[in-house]
Structure 1
């Protein structure tokens, strides 16, 4: 058996499934899993690597948001872990190759908070254009400064969107409805929505935009994407937003361009280093810089979005744990499987190699195990085969399946 393999040779009843949810995941997700009979434990904040290793002992399902990092060391010390739910859009905080190698399914919520992030972007663009943040701060300090200087409408301005995925494309549609001209740049070939103009280079977009908004993912290639060179290409007195990934922006360069007046205002919701827990101190060189809006990674933090995410990801974790379904998994072959309490289900994750299915079926046939239904899907280097049989499989047969050289993980579901 692959050294990374983990064979669960006994069936887990729902009451035996242990769940750990971190980072204030919405109560609807917790309550959904508890309602299915799972043993659910919650923690308010993120956990560091050593803390997480201790916390995941005996845990089958783990729920995180964006601040908890799932490293190979964590996975090596989590032998019972079957699946991870990222209750957010991104999964860059999870070492996906390592989870796949160990047969751990990963699920996320790629669409649930899109609207919330877009609404925050629109609100911040208007606030920066009207200098509302500065005016509010002055009013709280007792200063009445009624002036139109530096305050502008957004109608007729050009919004440049860097990254035209789910969020960037929806921002494009709503911004156009407000009277923006929209341009976008993406490394992939994306269909322009409405009257949006596709730019062939990032430089082309920067030179034409009055507002630049970043909506990129956290892949390593996006680290340092936006620095002094890119900011110099922006139009004088333009606005800048980053609601995507903190690693994408050089904040020292941004501060310099804000203080010089080349960039008239900025809004940031993400930072290279973020506090792990509520109330922890926040440090940034952008604190106190005029016409800069700083928010604590709340782009998707609306009640509506978090409720939707909680329900969505929790349902994916439950479908995998109880039925073996991998629909919308980030790293596994997709298989949408219905519940069937009348049969015993074997879920086997294996290395994608020729002849695995024939070997499995031959072994079951020799042991007089009747196959009533079977599905196989592959994705890259792994395969996933789910077999429904008419009787529970004996521990000895499970051991034989687990000992196949291609087996990564094996479960028997009732």
Structure 2
């Protein structure tokens, strides 16, 4: 039988942080300012090596390559939170993390402008066949041509998904003289002179450039296939800086080889390498197509975006670890009370993650009987619920008894008492 945990005052210097994949220095600085112990690596870890690294850390910071599976989480007994310093969270088993009391954070919007700028660069590069001319020049070939090269002024940009990236892109494109149409499942307020169309088919039929900015979900996987490409204007272009599963690549290759499509730009792929190096060989047919720009998932990879992401995600992680506030977590109930002030020296914060089943709050409030509960807030998400309560004027002996009683409840997942 495992010994009951002896309750100790919260000590920031005992918090261990593991940051992988070259997380930005802004995050490192933020954690170190809190007094946390920070270990950083520019690479990712896999399998047993990753398990060994996360065994005794409270915070894990990753980007898109590290795969945090249920197997990894089973061994990460001390892990409180995971920060995905990017948009994507599919590299983490979100359900398994939640059911172990581990909150997961990301940064869904901070790189939006960087992505939008790259799309504009790709639109111009495709219209002028710059990728092909650059490759030819590196081979010593002087091929000065104008056939098939166009200005983008007056051309139609079709945006699939008018969220943070799509809407910013809309403004940039109009500033360059493009006409903008967009398709989105939601009815949205257009920016500038952009116009929303009712169907994807209508958008494909009128656009000179189609750019995809949709999340990965069942109805977006393979949404651009043979049929959709056949509906596009002859000589049009397709750009994907969103999710790699959105385009059926063989259909894209066929459209490029037939000449129906004049070019394409891809920054994401259905299967991506987990590390850098010369092994991007899964799509040989695509590599041989003309006027195709291929980049290694760098749409949001600017100094500005990474600095902003580092600040946002580290702030969320610090708030969760120091104060239990889970606002912004993608897999976790949203709970927030103001941080306990320094003059509240006799107030302790109870953080109770539990199974979302009937009767837990009633049982918890029985345990609180006789104590001065100043504030209490609870919320649930799926199979997991979270309670935060501030208890005033409580002794160390009472705190230990409170911790032991809550931890012993049948629905308990994780209990922390901060004092």
Aligned to 1:333: 333
Deviation, 1:233, is: 1.5
C-alpha spacing 1:46/1:224, structure 2 compared with 1 (3 Å): farther
Q: Does 1:364 align with 2:362?
A: no
Aligned to 1:311: 311
CA offsets 1:142-161 (integer angstroms, 9 cap, x no match)? 22222221111111111111
- Contact (CA 8 Å) 2:18, 2:57: kept in 1 or not? yes
Rounded to whole Å, the distance in 1 between the matches of 2:223 and 2:50 is 31
Aligned to 1:349: 353
Match of 2:415 among 373, 391, 410: 410
Aligned to 1:77: 75
Rounded to whole Å, the distance in 2 between the matches of 1:380 and 1:169 is 31
SS of aligned partner of 2:203: helix
Rounded to whole Å, the distance in 1 between the matches of 2:371 and 2:48 is 44
- Contact (CA 8 Å) 2:59, 2:80: kept in 1 or not? yes
Rounded to whole Å, the distance in 2 between the matches of 1:216 and 1:119 is 17
SS of aligned partner of 1:394: helix
Rounded to whole Å, the distance in 2 between the matches of 1:70 and 1:225 is 27
- Contact (CA 8 Å) 2:24, 2:307: kept in 1 or not? yes
CA offsets 1:154-207 (integer angstroms, 9 cap, x no match)? 111111111222111221222122222212222333333332222222222111
SS of aligned partner of 1:266: strand
Deviation, 1:355, is: 4.3
Normalised to the residue count of structure 1, the TM-score between the two structures is 0.92
Aligned to 1:134: 132
Rounded to whole Å, the distance in 2 between the matches of 1:8 and 1:386 is 20
Deviation, 1:397, is: 2.4
Higher relative contact order (Cα pairs below 8 Å, separated by 6+ residues): 1
Match of 1:31 among 29, 32, 36: 29
Q: Does 1:207 align with 2:205?
A: yes
- Contact (CA 8 Å) 1:210, 1:238: kept in 2 or not? yes
- Contact (CA 8 Å) 1:45, 1:278: kept in 2 or not? no
Match of 1:193 among 174, 191, 194: 191
Moved more, 206-215 or 39-48: 39-48
Q: What pairs up with 1:249-260 in 2 under 5 angstroms?
A: 249-260=247-258
- Contact (CA 8 Å) 2:337, 2:377: kept in 1 or not? no
Moved more, 335-344 or 30-39: 335-344
Aligned to 1:374: 376
- Contact (CA 8 Å) 2:6, 2:400: kept in 1 or not? no
Deviation, 1:63, is: 1.0
Rounded to whole Å, the distance in 1 between the matches of 2:331 and 2:105 is 8
C-alpha spacing 1:161/1:50, structure 2 compared with 1 (3 Å): farther
Rounded to whole Å, the distance in 2 between the matches of 1:101 and 1:156 is 52
Aligned to 1:3: none
C-alpha spacing 1:313/1:290, structure 2 compared with 1 (3 Å): same
- Contact (CA 8 Å) 2:99, 2:383: kept in 1 or not? no
CA offsets 1:263-294 (integer angstroms, 9 cap, x no match)? 11111111122222233522232224321111
CA offsets 1:237-283 (integer angstroms, 9 cap, x no match)? 10111101112222222122112211111111111222222335222
Aligned to 2:294: 294
SS of aligned partner of 1:143: coil
Moved more, 180-189 or 202-211: 180-189
SS of aligned partner of 1:147: coil
C-alpha spacing 1:355/1:196, structure 2 compared with 1 (3 Å): same
Moved more, 171-180 or 41-50: 41-50
Gaps of 5+ in 1: 1-5
SS of aligned partner of 2:245: helix
Gaps of 5+ in 2: none
- Contact (CA 8 Å) 1:243, 1:269: kept in 2 or not? yes
CA offsets 1:108-165 (integer angstroms, 9 cap, x no match)? 1111100000000111011101111222222222222222211111111111111222
Rounded to whole Å, the distance in 1 between the matches of 2:289 and 2:48 is 36
Rounded to whole Å, the distance in 1 between the matches of 2:311 and 2:258 is 46
Normalised to the residue count of structure 2, the TM-score between the two structures is 0.91
C-alpha spacing 1:51/1:234, structure 2 compared with 1 (3 Å): farther
